[in-house]
Structure 1
């Protein structure tokens, strides 16, 4: 069984990104080389075994949204693009990405999504400290679920979500209203809105 998800990101960014950050973002999208210093997602720990058979942790950075070409499970094509909004009503950048991701990548991708949400244009703000940033779909599901980034102190940037949907999605009587899922779908994914919790602070 393959736990593969389609990640769709469509976000407009304010014109507040440095040249260093643009270079790093381009690397994550697969459109530029890896910078010497990383400031968006800074750690990529991986366990390796040395010549003596002793496991140790090394840092092995890799671009998070660089998939391109034919998708393996979700159908269609994987791609990423970043375009300057020079002649539009407000300046900044527009980013779109369609990727296949595995749950093992959720934490690092979540860190990048929180960074994007903190720089998203106000049109993406949904209230209650939430920022709409795209969608997430298990590869066997027909319809995607909304993906939001929300600020909550004490929570790490992570694509794992709470066990219950917010009050607006509760059924009458206070019980949680969850969409039907197949046994292949992890229980923590059984809701219609995925929330990435940022590590405190204001996303606006």
Structure 2
């Protein structure tokens, strides 16, 4: 029997996320066409790229729904008046996809302004652990 992981992320991203990164993130969320160049993971070593954060249906291994939302956080602008991006993802990952998912998460968190804990990961066979990120913006 295979293990599955339930990944939950809630993170704010820099207001000035570069357009190629934003385009790729939207594709990963299932909200845009695939960009010509993918930077989020070493896709060649993992096979065909797929939309790792795509949601909108019941999770096949955990209670609830796999979902993803990316919006501008207009209700909480930065002190300089810029508006960050707010991202929430909940998705189920097969153990064979875990490596690529963690590459994508690491790529994404380079754009994060959230300090401290940004989510959790739970295994279908064990207890859960936490994922942390610190701000990459000075």
Q: Which category describes the TM-score, using the shorter chain as reference length? A: 0.7 to 0.9
Match for residue 21 of structure 1? 21
After superposition, where does 1:31-180 map in structure 2 within 5 Å? 31-45=31-45, 59-90=47-78, 91-121=83-113, 124-126=114-116, 132-141=117-126, 144-149=128-133
Unaligned runs of 5+ in 1: 47-58, 127-131, 151-201
Greater RCO, 1 or 2 (C-alpha within 8 Å, sep 6+): 2
* 1:20 CA drift (Å): 1.9
In 2, are the aligned partners of 1:113 and 1:149 still within 8 Å (CA)? no
* 1:78 CA drift (Å): 0.7
What CA RMSD, in Å, does the superposition of the two structures yield over aligned residues? 2.2
What TM-score results when the alignment is normalised by the length of structure 2? 0.82
The size of the alignment, in residue pairs, is 133
Structure 1 Cα separation of the partners of residues 58 and 75 of structure 2: 33
Structure 2 Cα separation of the partners of residues 60 and 79 of structure 1: 22
Higher CA-based Rg: 1
- Range with bigger deviation, 37-46 or 17-26: 37-46
* 1:42 CA drift (Å): 4.7
Structure 2 Cα separation of the partners of residues 114 and 19 of structure 1: 18
Unaligned runs of 5+ in 2: none
* 1:148 CA drift (Å): 2.2
The structure-2 alpha-carbon separation of the partners of 1:22 and 1:35, relative to structure 1 and needing over 3 Å to count, comes to same
* 1:112 CA drift (Å): 1.5
* 1:72 CA drift (Å): 0.7
In 2, are the aligned partners of 1:14 and 1:120 still within 8 Å (CA)? yes
